[in-house]
Structure formats: C-alpha cells, structure tokens
Amino acid sequence: MKKHVLFIEDDKIVRENTAEILQFADYKVTTASNGKIGVEVAIKDPPDIIVCDIMMPKLDGYGVYQILSKNKKLAGIPFIFLTAKTNHSDIRKGMDLGADDYLTKPFEESELLMAISIRLKKVEIIKKYSDKAHKSIDKEQANIVVKDIEGLIKIFLKRPTKKYQKGDSLFCEGNRSNHLFLVKNGLIKTFKTTEDGKELITGFYATKQFIGYTSSLGDFPHTENAEALETTKIIRIEKSEIISILAFNSNIALELLELLANNIKNTKEKLLQVAYDSVRGRTAKSLLLLVSNNPLNKIIISRVDLANLTGIAKETLIRTLSDFKDEGYIQTSRTFVKVIDKKGLMQVR
C-alpha cells in the first residue's frame, strides 16, 4: 500500500509541483492550501507523514503542529517543517515544539524524498520491533511493571555495571549496537572526527542519562563516537528487553520517547547557543552545560576537550579560564574545573 503524504503549502505552484514529484515517487498525496485546511484534512484522513510550510495564512505551520500534537491519533505522525526562514530563533522554535526535520526553500527533489523516506523508515522500524516485542515478552520482562520512567530508571540502576576508565571507548561511529546504555555515574562525551582529525563534540551524558539510543532502537550504525571523560559506570540494556518492557508498559513508552527527544533537543540547543556567543560567552555556556547534571559542579575534563566543545583554540580557552578564576566564577587545577558562581557565569556574554 502506498504511503500517504499530506503536503500543506499556500504557494500554488510549489504545492502542485511538489505533489507531482511525490506522486512520481509512488506516494499517495493529499494537499492543503493553508494550515486550517491541513488540520481538517489530517483529522479526516490521517496521513503517514506531514510536510508543512511555516509561513501561511489563517494558521501557520507552528499552529498546525501544536494542534495535531495534542490529538492522540495524530501525535505520532512524523512532521517535517518546510521554511524559507533560517534564523536561529526560528529553528529553535521548531526544536522546542518537537519537529522531526526541517527543509529550507528552495530545496532539491532528492532532499525532500530522502527526508520523507528516512522518517517513514524509522516509524516502520519502531512498529516492527513493537509487534515483535508483544510476541516475545518473557515472564521476567512481563513482571517489570512501572508507573513512570523514573521507576524504570531506578530498576535499571540496581543492575551490574561495566566500568570505563578515562579515554575508554563506549562505541564508535559506523558500528551497530544491540544495547541501550544508561550512565550510573561519571561522564561520557560524544563526538565526530573530521577528515583532518579534528574533533567536533556533539554532546555530554552524565548520571541517569541514556546514550546510544539512535543505534540501538533505530537499528542503524552509530553516527558518532562515545568516550569516557572520567571513570564511568555504565549499565547495558539489551534492545529486545527495553522494547519488550515498553510494549508491556505502554503508559511509559511515550514518556521515554519524550525524555530521549528532550535530551537531544536540549543538548543541540545548548551547543547551538555556544556557537552564537563570544569567546567568553561560549566558555561560560560550555562550563554550565558540563555541570548541568553534576551536583558537585566539578568538571574533570582536559583543556583540549573543553576547547573542542567551545570551538576555540586551547590557548584562548586557558586565558579565558584564568580570567574567570580571577573574577571568582570558577576554581581550577591541572585536572579539574569547579564552578562556584553559576549565576555569574549565566550573565557572561
């Protein structure tokens, strides 16, 4: 059966040309000329995926997403924003709402088709494993019944751990994983390596945070590397087990997905903010990011790693840390940085 795409766009030429492209790609296509009509169409005939322009009369794309996300039958439908706006604030607003993807006008046909294909494949993967899980729940997994995600994490935290020393690799880009990882204590960084060997840090994971879910639950290779920044204890959870638990405890499945989505959104947002600030602002936000899940406000991280996260030279970072120390924001040694004035760092621009 053909997959159903709902395309919401007020520009008639773009709407008709895009609909024709999607039909040639063997999709069933329904179009709407504004957000209000798009909502009515989605409710009447739920599609498999929605591609929606942002700037439209009567009801803009943000409004469409907010209305549909509150409908239980439509909330899980993949949603791609189509926009000519590329400002930081516009992208951030879409991230806050929870959009699955963004396409910027003008876009290539291949970009549109690839974005739709990837989102539909992810939905199929989740459904496939969910169906399999219902058939293969064993007695032990069936007995794991919890009320919320915190209860599930508490159960996992009681399990045996695997210790990773500083510099140990948790997983590598290109490898596949059959485990979901939960940090019991310690700190993990994720990063990509450029062709010239430079590191681009993509995130940090601390106590009670899940890592590796894009590969373990999405059934495709890791897109980044993960490495311990200090002695870290990790709990490994089999993919089949987590899916079975979610299948049997449907009340927390959405809560877990929201938790993982928020982890991604919050990390990307903080890293995006770092990129837009001055050297002092970048350094301050990097430090605040690292201590956000650390009750001791103490960071054990090399100056090189911190410089890579901040996007500045090591020498510039050292000078900035020295200034922060003189200003009373932090304490430093050769092995750690401790934030002693969070409010002060928040004001740094």
Which domains, ranges and CATH numbers included, belong to the chain?
4-127 (3.40.50.2300), 139-256 (2.60.120.10), 277-346 (1.10.10.10)
pLDDT of residue 329: 93
pLDDT of residue 303: 86
pLDDT of residue 139: 43
Query: Which stretches in the chain have pLDDT values below 70?
Result: 85-99, 125-148, 214-219, 243-277, 293
pLDDT of residue 327: 92
pLDDT of residue 260: 62
3-state secondary structure the chain: CCCEEEEECCCHHHHHHHHHHHHHCCCEEEEECCHHHHHHHHHHCCCCEEEEECCCCCCCHHHHHHHHHCCCCCCCCCEEEEECCCCHHHHHHHHHHCCCEEEECCCCHHHHHHHHHHHHHHHHHHHHHHHHHHHHCCHHHHCCCCCCHHHHHHHHHCCCCEEECCCCEEECCCCCCCEEEEEEECCEEEEEECCCCCEEEEEEECCCCEECHHHHCCCCCCCCEEEECCCEEEEEEEHHHHHHHHHHCHHHHHHHHHHHHHHHHHHHHHHHHHHHCCHHHHHHHHHHHHHCCCCCCEECCCHHHHHHHHCCCHHHHHHHHHHHHHCCCEEECCCCEEECCHHHHHCCC
Give the whole-angstrom CA distance, residue 214 versus residue 220.
8
pLDDT of residue 230: 84
pLDDT of residue 168: 94
Give the whole-angstrom CA distance, residue 82 versus residue 62.
11
Q: Please identify which residue in the block is written with the tokens 């209000």.
A: 36
